[in-house]
Structure 1
Amino acid sequence: MIEAQNLSKQYGEKAAVDSVTFTVQPGRVTGFLGPNGAGKSTTMRMIMGLDNPSGGHVTVNGQPYAQHRAPLREVGALLDAKAVHTKRSAYDHLRSMAATHGIPASRVKEVIELTGLGSVANKRVGGFSLGMGQRLGIAAALIGDPHTVILDEPVNGLDPEGVQWVRHLAKDLASEGRTVFLSSHLMSEMALTADHLIVIGRGRIIADAPIQTVIDGQGRALARVRVRADRPQDLIGSLAGEGVTAQILEPELVEITGVDARRIAEIALRDRVLVYELTPLQLSLEDAYMQLTQDEVEYQSQNPEPVTTISATVEGR
């Protein structure tokens, strides 16, 4: 378990992490999300004792990381896959880590096979691809068979098979009752892997809840409606007012946000607009995340293709 209480990190006048409090529970995969510069990496470094907090404290399995007598057996972390001696082989790198904790060579071989590095175990790490380096970093995190695993962008550089492997690995570790704390910018992968989400923005926690709760909490009713090609404007006119957004995707297809499918059907029937198709849509994790963090992004890009929308509000009858 990871427990942070009023955890802060100040760099000059900038609060990289601003009094955050959260608990990462065992037995589930907890995703850690946030825009660039939100404080994710700083928080993970403080968990691992690599940065000292300016305020508050954080413990792993009941103690600060530095106080564990055998830290590799308590927590394994992938924070920077490049933090290796490039002239060592993968085997020698892992064997030297294992030796500090009296971990047998048999465990080194286990994690090498587990991470798919068997064919390159005796090759110098300096010649590894990005994906192979990530696999070695994960092997290092698992070398002590730890109770808690922290992985920062573990699928970076991995091919589709590797991405799927990390997903199953995280779930398997959690199913064994371990604490799994995982950060990634790949929303589609996080949606498939995480059970719970902690979202940070500008150094503060802005969401801490099960993944479906985060999605539902940001979602407005969304549906796509297919009508006769000359009737989209009639349907939009029936939704006259403010609060509902209607976007024409194709001559016959309208996407409507802010009113549920049943109400759309009632209004279409009332105003004699023939509906060929009415499909309620589920908000994606990416959509929910973008809505949740829209005011927390420090570096924003311009959308090269602005979307034209039409606003309307359903007026009850």
Structure 2
Amino acid sequence: MIEAQALSKRYGAKAAVDAVSFTVHPGKVTGFLGPNGAGKSTTMRMIMGLDNPSGGRVTVNGRPYAQHRAPLREVGALLDAKAVHTKRSAYNHLRAMAATHGIPDSRVREVIELTGLGSVAKKRVGGFSLGMGQRLGIAAALLGDPHTVILDEPVNGLDPEGVQWVRHLAKGLASEGRTVFLSSHLMSEMALTADHLIVIGRGRIIADAPIQSIIDGQGKARVRVRVDRPQDLLGSLAGEGVTSQVLEPELVEITGVEPRRIAEIALRERVLVYELTPLQVSLEDAYMQLTQTEVEYQSHDLPLTPATPDVQQVPAHMEGR
């Protein structure tokens, strides 16, 4: 279990993490989401004792990380897959870690096979691809067979098979009663993996609930409607919180109104409806609505214009030469 109480981290006048409190329970996969600069990595570093809090406290399995006598057996973490000695082999990197806790070589070989690194275990880490480095980081996190596992962007650089493997691994660890805390920017993958979500924005917790509750609470009803006179229907539906998008001449997508209400208005206006399809709100939709005012670094669409070639004027007497 991970427990944070009024946890804060300041860098001068900036509060990277601002008095956050949350609990990550065992037996489930808890996802940690937030825009870039929201405080996710800083929070994870404080959990692992790599950054000292400016205020509050955080414990893992009842104690601050630094107070555990055998921390690798309590919590395993992947925070930075590049934090390795690049001239060591994967096998020797894990053996060096294992030696600090009296972990036998048999466990080193076990996590190497578990993470699919058997064929490259004796190769230098400096030559590893991003995906192989991620697998090595996960192997290191699992080395001490810990009660709590923290993974920051674990699927970064992995191929589809690797992404699926991480999903099954996280769920498997949770099913054994372990605490699993992971972050990812892949909303589709988080939707398949996590049971519970903690969302942080500008250093503060803005949601802490089961994943389906967040989707249900943030996502507005979306309906795809095919009608013979779209404008007549949309004119009658206009109102606060209702938006629409014309996809085809007779196909529109309406947000913010329930399908039954659309059907009632269509009947009243004598508009022929020959398709009425409620659309499932995704985790990405809910997340974007939840964090739309919490994004510190925001991109803006630019108009797409044809590139103008850099043409030099050719003197008349040189043409054709």
Superposed pair shares fold, TM > 0.5: yes
TM-score w.r.t. the length of structure 1 is: 0.94
| C-alpha distance after superposition, 1:219-268 (max 9, x if no partner) | 2121010112xx11011122144331121111111111111001111111
**Structure 2 unaligned spans of 5+:** 305-321
CA distance in 1, matches of 2:156, 2:238: 47
What residue number does 1:124 align with? 124
1:256 alignment partner, SS class:
strand
Distance 1:290 1:104, change over 3 A: same
CA distance in 1, matches of 2:281, 2:206: 19
CA distance in 1, matches of 2:296, 2:221: 28
Task: Output the amino acid matched with 2:126.
Answer: G
What residue number does 1:47 align with? 47
Task: Output the amino acid matched with 2:49.
Answer: G
What residue number does 1:70 align with? 70
CA distance in 1, matches of 2:220, 2:159: 35
CA distance in 2, matches of 1:239, 1:176: 50
What residue number does 2:89 align with? 89
2:208 alignment partner, SS class:
strand
TM-score w.r.t. the length of structure 2 is: 0.93
**Structure 1 unaligned spans of 5+:** 307-317
CA distance in 2, matches of 1:284, 1:17: 28
What residue number does 2:3 align with? 3
What residue number does 1:185 align with? 185
What residue number does 1:31 align with? 31
Cα offset, 1:178, TM superposition: 0.2
Cα offset, 1:166, TM superposition: 0.3
1:303 alignment partner, SS class:
coil
Cα offset, 1:98, TM superposition: 0.6
Task: Output the amino acid matched with 1:54.
Answer: S
What residue number does 1:251 align with? 249
Cα offset, 1:304, TM superposition: 4.2
What residue number does 1:113 align with? 113
Alignment of 1:169-208 (within 5 A): 169-208=169-208
2:162 alignment partner, SS class:
helix
What residue number does 1:280 align with? 278
CA distance in 1, matches of 2:303, 2:30: 34
CA distance in 2, matches of 1:168, 1:209: 22
Distance 1:267 1:183, change over 3 A: same
| C-alpha distance after superposition, 1:172-219 (max 9, x if no partner) | 000000000000000010000000000000000000000011111112
Cα offset, 1:276, TM superposition: 0.8
What residue number does 1:160 align with? 160
Alignment of 1:231-270 (within 5 A): 231-270=229-268
* RMSD over aligned Cα atoms: 1.0
CA distance in 2, matches of 1:217, 1:136: 38
What residue number does 1:312 align with? none
CA distance in 2, matches of 1:43, 1:206: 15
| C-alpha distance after superposition, 1:52-74 (max 9, x if no partner) | 00000000000000000000000
1:197 alignment partner, SS class:
strand
Runs of 4+ with >3 A deviation: none
1:212 alignment partner, SS class:
helix
1:291 alignment partner, SS class:
helix
CA distance in 1, matches of 2:109, 2:185: 31
2:280 alignment partner, SS class:
coil
| C-alpha distance after superposition, 1:132-190 (max 9, x if no partner) | 00000000000000000000000000000000000000000000000000000000100
What residue number does 2:149 align with? 149
1:220 alignment partner, SS class:
coil
May I ask how many residue pairs the two structures share in their alignment? 304
Cα offset, 1:32, TM superposition: 0.2
Bigger Rg over Cα: 2
Equivalent residue in structure 1 for 2:290, among 292, 295, 299? 292
